[in-house]
Chains A and B, each alone.
Chain A
Amino acid sequence: MKKFKGIAVKSDIEGGVWLLKCDDGKTYQISGHYDNLADGARVSVIGSIDRAIMGFAMAGPVIKAEKISAI
């Protein structure tokens, strides 16, 4: 497990996907639906990067998130 910090962005690419724009400049896709997540919120995501999966977002590596919390 790893902790990622950055801005959660609801991108309207591919019908809508959640991205995490990290402080280190990298962009990740956060897998899943998050109704309570606010677009533009600064968040901390605990999870792992799964390089064995692909998806339609194609906007960066996918983080399988265990926990997302606003900071």
Chain B
Amino acid sequence: MKKLFSACFIFACLILMSGGIAVSSDKVLLDDSPDCEIVVEISGSSIASFRNISSSASDAGMSVMENSPYSADSGIMLVKTRTADADKTIKALEKLPGVVHAEKNCIYRAFKAPNDPKYRYQWNLKKINMDRAWRLSTGKGVKVAVIDTGIAYGNSGRFVRLEDFDRASFADPFNFITNTTDAFDDNGHGSHVAGTIAQSTNNSKGVAGIAFNAVLMPVKVLDENGNGSLADIAEGVKYAAAHGAKVINLSLGGPTGSRILENACRYARSKGCVIVCAAGNDGSESPNYPAAYESCISVSAVRYDNKLAPYSSRGKYIDIAAPGGDMGVDQNKDGCPDGIMQNTIKRGHPEEQEYALYQGTSMAAPHVAGTAALMMAAGIKNPADVEAALKETAFKRGLKLGEGYGAGILDAGAAVAKARSLSCGASSFGIPEGFPNPLFPFIAAVLSIFAIRRFSGNAKHIEEYTSSLPFVAGIAAGAYAMSLIPLSLMPDLAASAVLCAALPISLMFVSIPFRGIRRFSSGFAVGFASLLASSVFDGGSRISAFADLSGFNCVWIAANASIAFISAAFFIRFSPEK
């Protein structure tokens, strides 16, 4: 019994150790909006057939839009309708010549989307692949300083807290204009920028923000006209770094550099801050500062069609591009100019709020800052690693890199996935995302074998059993075959059923009469337990069933890992020697 306890202790330590560094994130629920989209597949993926069907659908009174800039090539288009009219619209669409198939888009599980009603206007978030990024991280606990005109984070005098910051967290505000500890926004710019980073998401209200579980630090250095002194901005950067900010957003700048500001940025970077700056809005190649400093990530602005916005600076100092909007066009045909929509105060009226469309490289920068927060919450800590991963994963296809795009257009989904794999060491094996990293299951399996041998008194036949080919093959099957099942596409209940110890235990019982299969099935149970125990290392990206591996999901996985392991230990110990 003592040996059993010591074996279980080793296994429990493994589980607790891995649970202690688990990265959790909130689950994003399915869109339950009264409106929905119908996704339509058309025959002949050409612009001509796309236009024909688009015009026939418009004639029939349907609201047609592109799903992406590549919709004409891929033969996929979207039609907006009321959820109640969805079936009728599908039938009408399927009668149109050239339509292969039509079905509801809003209930498709893979397109998990937040329920914020104005999310549909946030083409910019779709463009940077947020649906994928949110499955891996929500930026929990990462402090993001917004050094700007302040943020509408509280009700005080004429200032109001924005309705779509109802679930947002704020810390350490400071106002360098008045030298006070309240940093309310008297312009609207800072709140808009902060909204892109962390406006409350999936709260059935307004719009979404990228790292909605991050903590915003309002640092006011710009006055109500949007201007501020170099001294205040430099001090603001140092203040943010000294107060624990891990990401600093600077949607400001000027054509003249400053040694003091450059030193402040270098200091913040040395303290572990990722500094993200707007590249500038003069449409030229002349550098803007602080964007052009080595320690800063400089962000240019692109439109819906991936072209650089006409106002965006485009010098060689650009590191990456992100959506900044173009109010002069409506390329996605959603009925609004293609600006960036966030909840903010009315310009110069801090007592009134609105959902405003802005354009500018100031709007592009917070896309990168928010993504950096997601990456840091996913476990990557070094600013240089964050910058390298952002650039490596940026969308590059069809872009003339070096002409203002830097490394390409931000892909938040790929960047956060890269951060996850870096934080759990998968990259060192060169293993593609979605495939299991062998290191942690391997360690868990070796420890399990050691524990089982101890539990069995290190008997000779148990040593032979646990080093036999069928047993080792069983471990490999249990550890890897399970992780290749696309559990993220299953409902949670079904995924929980697959990740239950009942499966390996049943296999062991069935295999009792057969020596080789018996060894394989007990190895399978050990491999299965090792996979589950080690999965918490990367917050579920190995067994991608759950977006949130804290709370019940974590207990479920730990419990089933323990049950599978203990069952296998008993099974092996009491197996016939021959």
Which residues of A line the B interface, CB within 8 A? 11-17, 27, 31-33, 51-62
Q: By the criterion CB–CB under 8 Å, are B253 and A14 in contact?
A: no
Q: By the criterion CB–CB under 8 Å, are B226 and A56 in contact?
A: yes
Contact residues in A for B222 (Cβ distance below 8 Å):
55-56
What is the distance, in angstroms, from A57's C-beta to the closest C-beta of chain B?
Answer: 6
User: Given contacts A15-B187, A31-B225, A58-B313, could you give 13 more A-B pairs where the C-beta distance is less than 8 Å?
Assistant: A12-B359, A13-B360, A14-B363, A15-B188, A15-B360, A33-B348, A54-B289, A55-B222, A56-B148, A56-B252, A56-B362, A59-B282, A62-B254
Size class of B's contact patch?
35 or more
Docked complex Cα distance between A66 and B32 (Å): 54
Q: Mark B253-274, 1 if CB is under 8 A from A, else 0.
A: 1111000000000000000000
Q: By the criterion CB–CB under 8 Å, are B327 and A14 in contact?
A: no
Contact residues in A for B288 (Cβ distance below 8 Å):
58
Q: By the criterion CB–CB under 8 Å, are B281 and A53 in contact?
A: no
What is the distance, in angstroms, from B467's C-beta to the closest C-beta of chain A?
Answer: 66
Contact residues in B for A32 (Cβ distance below 8 Å):
225
Contact residues in B for A52 (Cβ distance below 8 Å):
229-230
Q: By the criterion CB–CB under 8 Å, are B359 and A54 in contact?
A: no
Q: By the criterion CB–CB under 8 Å, are B233 and A54 in contact?
A: yes
Docked complex Cα distance between A14 and B148 (Å): 12
Docked complex Cα distance between A33 and B349 (Å): 12
Partner of B254, one of A15, A16, A55: A55
Which residues of B line the A interface, CB within 8 A? 148-149, 187-189, 192, 222, 225-230, 233, 251-256, 278, 280-282, 288-289, 311, 313, 327, 344, 347-348, 356, 358-363
Q: Which residue of A lies closest to B189 (CB)?
A: A56
Partner of A53, one of B228, B282, B363: B228
Q: Which residue of A lies closest to B254 (CB)?
A: A54
Partner of A58, one of B149, B282, B344, B356: B282
Q: Which residue of B lies closest to A52 (CB)?
A: B230
Contact residues in A for B188 (Cβ distance below 8 Å):
15
Q: By the criterion CB–CB under 8 Å, are A51 and B256 in contact?
A: yes
Docked complex Cα distance between A27 and B218 (Å): 31
Docked complex Cα distance between A32 and B187 (Å): 11
Partner of B255, one of A13, A33, A60: A60
Contacts A/B (CB < 8 Å), 20 sampled: A11-B311, A12-B359, A13-B281, A14-B362, A15-B344, A15-B356, A31-B225, A52-B230, A53-B227, A54-B227, A54-B289, A55-B227, A56-B252, A56-B278, A58-B252, A58-B280, A58-B362, A60-B255, A61-B254, A61-B255
